Structure 1
């Protein structure tokens, strides 16, 4: 579909315009998929396979299709137009003068893509793809179900409040297509009287709007009253959001609610529930107005009393002013106190209204500009935030550690790295621990001051995706750190190992969870007031606990090997080093982002970047040519379609992380958001020019250069026609 073309229907002559897929990638005959504009109810772009819906863009809300918030980023280069009249209902877009070339295509797989020409890369880049993830699968969660793509893979679907799985056994087996049933029947008498209320669902793609009742001339308040008066009305929403914060028009659902999901910049949906199923009045979802009204009434009463006393004082003169003075003082106190309480209630109500998505199961703080930290983790935001210093981890004497490790026996070695040897040990209380004996090096400070500073910092870091430091030892030249023991050892054993059984243990769901967990851990380190740059992110530094939860190790050790913190010369592990660090020794948070991106692509592919010098460029080619399955680890069974969407998106994120320029890489906080919220927009990565093959040449050129230097010195609109 090119700029200026339109899709939709002409009701006068019966003409219809829609997209049809090819039969296959090399067979242009008509295929099984078509993308057509549903003109009944609220207009919606829908992909069909025969007579079955497979994907909806979401109802048109006056500015965009509610399930595709990405269009908000295109308004500077194109305009969107929806024409709704007795003659036709059509949708089109127009590229603005000077804008890039773009088109929409329906692939033979049923996937819709908007491609934009990147003049710099001289390639077509994908700016949007739908379905984008598992929650875009039509009716994924059945009737009255709600899909959250940011939830764990085992719990994408949940029932709306007031509903329960129609078949608990089917849901237990992860078959959610049967949907949910209402717990308590609605109260709707013949006279229209009812005790029902509405639950506010924020930031959702509106349900399938085929045959909904639409009235664009009414207000949202009138819509609520109409819905309550109609025993068949199950939910309502604004039909038009063109006027910014003012929502107008009325869309009422009288059939089952299907295909609802969370989405960035989603809309408000008001779901009808029995009184007993509604949140308590104090809940932000229950529209708390009584406290504010009560507070305002109290303020008004106090003001009236103060004015009355002032009038009395003026009329009777100063002879009784001494008697009135205590009353006036007391009333003044109550006036200011009531005003303060009223203001506090207003702020609280506004804050609760903004944060109401947190009361919806599965909603994350990402939607509230805190994308890096989940509520259940609640880590300290700063290692120096407390007024009292956090206690340092206990000291352990050298003899105890020698005995715990069999005097550092070779048989107890469970890992080796650039910073030392890790031993399995058993301390006197019977617990297994990991004992890291840091290698003797002239880079270590003789007095151990830097070591102790790092131990103090590491002991304060608390996060579910960091290996916990338990104790330390500094005895002479010995520097030893004691960590919690990780039963499943390091990640590299499973993604690079030759044993196919070990590789198969990390199925795609586990690999995706590991990627998300590592990103959260790095985001925690980067988000501290005293930013911690890991400096050596790689699979061997990612440990796995009993439940395969990833935990980052060595997040403080690398810093001990920097000669000068203002001009770091740490040699990072080859294959994970950002190009700007190789050539300029420029160490920033984006160096960690680069290392994370390499590791992400290794986890997905099962290939080591150092052993496969073209891994990064191969990944870009596979993603750009839409052949992502060629990149995936062949030791793991091919993913189901819903997981393939996630993996494709994951590779795209990894490619953004390994961009040549640090400015082109996202922050790790943005990475967490993209990984956990599949409706968030991801820009297309540029073609890669740096990989493990070019890295040695960069290092050599950098070394030669240094030797030489030392010797010498919003655009959318809707047209309604009656």
Structure 2
């Protein structure tokens, strides 16, 4: 296969090659022996293959840890246009492998989650075309497999959908699993169907906007900027066509695609190809069906849809009431039948039919033939009663025809009258409880006599349980000064204050915030930490204790100070939901929280190597000194974590307290930032305390002292201070590290670093404990980055100062990635092997 010099590609023939080195290049080809997980490409949002307009990525639609999918994305808009494993989501640890046999996605235990089918020849390459098509190629450049031949819910402009093929809707925007609707291409039409009955609710041939051009059989369905077409087998002759009106957009170049959305609507949507826009905006150029009430389940089962000028409304037919889950059910206590035979699973139930009312229609009668002709309503009822799958029927008197509602009932339509005559009348099969046996009256009288005594007994038992529970809590907390009470005084009723706190707890349990992590009670965390016996750290927000949950996993439990908890419970839970849903390999994961009364606790994953300050600043001769490579890894990991907080996650977060105490270490050189987002938990009245928190004064940017606006450049300044401490192995301010072994006061290290930079003698800045085992080019680069970060003016923290011109090499181009100012960019640049290039504005 010939390879053009203009095409970048990854060829991984050795397991020693790290895919991370290539994550940001425009990679159009992958070759066999490629194997990777999401974690290899976490810094590129999972992207591992790119073309001019599309990319292939490990994708997580809802931002949680799992599930993940292999998808093709439109690069500018971020729209998912194809999903490989839509029905088989995988965790981020799943491995994608490309071998000579094809493409496969497997779980950690080796089981197969998804793969391409058997191929006619060995695979030579995986190619992402500019059209968004993903192909497996043989050594003659012929296609062995194509994603276009296995569409999901989207059709692209250059993609043909053959006859007998279909698009299938997703369950929801966050769940690409196959949903209830499909667009099917038949030899004579293109139709929309609702599963499981495959009942039609729209067809292209019956749409008033379409035109028929030929009597040939349909071979393909296609869309482009001008309209949608049913083509003959020659791929040129139009059988049916639907031309769109001219676009009102001011952009001449737009991206088009067709999508079957989770509600069952088939849309042609477009978006301007304009990189200057802050977010992709899709315009709907075509939608089918046009009327919302023609959708099978727009108002839920038995919900009544009324068309309106701008939008439809949902209600319930007479004698029916709305269900909390959507749809309607009989108000007389009976239940609608399911697809099993009447009476199954409902003891003593009998089937009957409830009329739906006049001027009510059903989508299924538009495109389907009646089940019977020439019958009356009684015959329809008998036939439906004998059919386990029949859930109701519509009877049209004018033709004496009966239309069964089978397997599943959708929404109803308010239709009025048609041509002055009455529409079909609907009936739904319901199950009602049989009358109680004749001897039940004596049982009722017995129950009435027994009720008072039973209620009294239950009341006494309830009081006893409450008192015992209060005594048990007091006994368990007797060793805690803040909760100690004398048990010798015996059981007692709770005080009004205690009752008030319990009421607060009950109210908290009613708070429902989407995306909240696991919620623990105070007692659970007290047990997990053995009554908070093992402190492992402290900071401005509170103390941290080591704990162990019931699943034996170790956690770090932070008990937040009262000064930082002056906001309402709902606001607190909302912020926790934001923090809990931010996941990155270089950010400490929030596993859960407690918001009970005035108690606020956060549960984090446990990092067994403690914080950077303990490892970096300790002069204990028994501890191993951090090597230069390890220090560089720490700096890069911290930079990546901050970069994600600033511009990689949905909710932009400024850390406001970047320091070594908040950079945690774990086995296998894992580096994670802690306490991100906690500044958002403080009330405005408490924000002034932030500048006086312990361990923060040496990292404060000048903005804090001048009341200037706080931005991500504030974190960049603090990050620069941390970089210098990583280089020197000591606090920048000597007075802040009283345990250091110094014979005389050390100068302020940032000033010394600036002086050495001007002289070009960076070697004198390295930690003496490294004994010269330093990559001097990397050290020079890190110092320059740190000095850049420490500029007094925030907007100038974007350029690295130069002491002398540097030779440029093949690795000198700055990788395209979102970074913390230029700090992360330069450090990532070092890791990638480019040394000495001038870093332009990020």
> Same fold by TM-score, threshold 0.5 exceeded?
no
Q: For CA contacts below 8 A with separation 6 or more, give which structure has more relative contact order.
A: 1
Shorter-chain TM-score bucket reads: 0.3 to 0.5
More helix by share: 1
Question: Given the two structures, how large is their TM-score scaled by the length of structure 2?
Answer: 0.37
Look at both structures and tell me which one has the larger radius of gyration over its CA atoms. 2
